[in-house]
């Protein structure tokens, strides 16, 4: 998602530099950046924090060292 957003941002900057009407408006671009950094990134860090806090999953049975 980050690479796609960067490509989108660069292409939009080039279109905006040519004064094209096809460029995404500034308000919409700001909303996308806010959604990315304001919601998505914090949720990733919160999820990783709680994921690393959980104990490791234990197998319900003992596994053999001899492969099948």
CA distances from 24 to 18, 36, 55, 61, 66 (A): 13, 16, 45, 56, 59
Residue ranges per structural domain of the chain: 1-37
pLDDT in tens, 5-64: 889 989 999 999 998 888 889 899 899 888 888 998 899 999 999 999 999 888 888 888
Kindly report the pTM of this predicted structure. Answer: 0.56
Which of 5, 26, 23 has the alpha carbon at shortest distance from 14? 23
């Amino acid at each position: 998602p980050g690479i796609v957003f960067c490509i989108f941002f660069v292409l939009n900057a080039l279109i905006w530099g040519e004064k094209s009407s096809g460029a995404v408006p500034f308000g919409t671009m700001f909303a996308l950046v806010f959604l990315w950094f304001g919601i998505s990134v914090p949720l990733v860090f919160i999820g990783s924090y709680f994921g690393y806090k959980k104990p490791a999953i234990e197998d319900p049975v003992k596994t053999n060292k001899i492969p099948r």
